[in-house]
Chains A and B, each alone.
Chain A
Amino acid sequence: MAYSEKVIDHYENPRNVGSFNKADLQIGTGMVGAPACGDVMKLQIKVNAEGIIEDAKFKTYGCGSAIASSSLLTEWVKGKTLEQAKQIKNTDIAAELELPPVKVHCSVLAEDAIRAAIEDYQSKQQG
């Protein structure tokens, strides 16, 4: 299967790979897995006092499309408010990366991961 140039670019030069300290109150961590293929994605956001995502990191064990989806997403969420980040749809990611239909689930994984990270951050603020 042919990957788009954008997928190859993110796959070969992934942005924002790494981890933040999960226990830090400023950090929200989202983890999701795709049972169809066994891919696992961890996405973390660092949120400042104004509620803006100032940094994001990811670690993805999966195919090129899953890595590209999470890499692209970390670029997109930086500088966004939590509400804005929640609006990102998997279809936006799939369109940007020109994912073929069989790889759309990789973008679903990224959307679920950012939502989970935001929820984790928000539940920490209440706790």
Chain B
Amino acid sequence: MLQDLPRDWFALFGLPVQFEIDQTALTQSFRELQTRYHPDRYAQASEQEKRLAMQITSLLNEAHSTLRQPRLRARYLLEQAGISFNDDRDTTSDTGFLMQQIEWREAIEEAEEAAEPLETLEQLMKGLNTELQSLEQSFARAWQTKTYLDAKTTLLKMRFYERLLEDAQSRLERLEDGL
């Protein structure tokens, strides 16, 4: 029984294979499976079954944390479609996009000197979230139409916005701590 789990992570949680996801259904299904395969329930089982239950628990955690995060979910979908990633070698050379990135970085740096630094940072983060959402929508369209290389290009841009958001968030927290 333990071995019969679907290999595909969407199938594992009983979800359709697509970018848009029902987070509530994902969480609910994750909890059910987590309970069903909890190592405590295999305390009396054979050593082999205990080990399998452990492996399944860690697989469930990995699958769940991948699918719940849009960028990781997008990457999983592309990898399943045969698109490969090389984190050491993949670079982005889209000059227009990179110029925008530098402008965002500068805006975040300058926000601290603004008259209302907290509001300015919050406003910037709102803008960054909008950009991220629009990338997610582009990804969903590209994946649906199977234009996988476009989908990959879109996905690779997401990390840059996440990074900007992390940067803005930590500056925001530092400012709030200082108040």
- Are both chains from one complex? yes
Give the chain A neighbours of B99 by CB distance below 8 A.
Answer: 31
Query: Interface code B135-179, partner A: CB below 8 Å = 1, 0 otherwise?
Result: 000000000000000000000110111111000000000000000
Give the chain A neighbours of B90 by CB distance below 8 A.
Answer: 34-36
Would you call A32 an interface residue if the criterion is a C-beta within 8 Å of the partner chain's C-beta atoms?
Answer: yes
Q: Give the nearest-CB partner of B156 in chain A.
A: A35
Give the chain A neighbours of B87 by CB distance below 8 A.
Answer: 36, 105
Q: Give the nearest-CB partner of B101 in chain A.
A: A40
Would you call A42 an interface residue if the criterion is a C-beta within 8 Å of the partner chain's C-beta atoms?
Answer: yes
Would you call B89 an interface residue if the criterion is a C-beta within 8 Å of the partner chain's C-beta atoms?
Answer: yes
Judged by DSSP, the binding face of B is helix
* Of the residues B88, B92, B164, contact of A32 by C-beta under 8 Å: B92
Give the chain B neighbours of A109 by CB distance below 8 A.
Answer: 91
Chain A's interface size range is 10 to 19
Query: Interface code A37-72, partner B: CB below 8 Å = 1, 0 otherwise?
Result: 111101000000000000000010100000000000
Q: Is the CB of A34 within 8 A of B101?
A: no
Give the chain B neighbours of A37 by CB distance below 8 A.
Answer: 159, 163
CA distance A49 to B147 in the complex (A): 45
Please report which residues of chain A, range 1-60, place their CB below 8 angstroms from some CB of chain B when the two chains form the complex. 31-40, 42, 59
Min CB gap A2→B, angstroms = 20
A61-B105, A105-B88, A108-B88 known; A31-B164 Cβ under 8 A: no
Give the chain A neighbours of B160 by CB distance below 8 A.
Answer: 33, 35, 38, 40
Q: Is the CB of B98 within 8 A of A40?
A: yes
* From B87, B88, B95, residue with most partner A Cβ within 10 Å: B88
Would you call B1 an interface residue if the criterion is a C-beta within 8 Å of the partner chain's C-beta atoms?
Answer: no
A38-B160, A38-B163, A105-B87 known; A31-B105 Cβ under 8 A: no
CA distance A104 to B90 in the complex (A): 12
Chain B interface (Cβ < 8 Å from any Cβ of A): 87-95, 97-99, 101-102, 105, 156-157, 159-164
Knowing that A31-B102, A34-B91 touch, tell me 8 more A-B residue pairs with CB under 8 angstroms. Answer: A31-B99, A33-B92, A36-B88, A37-B159, A40-B101, A40-B102, A105-B88, A105-B89
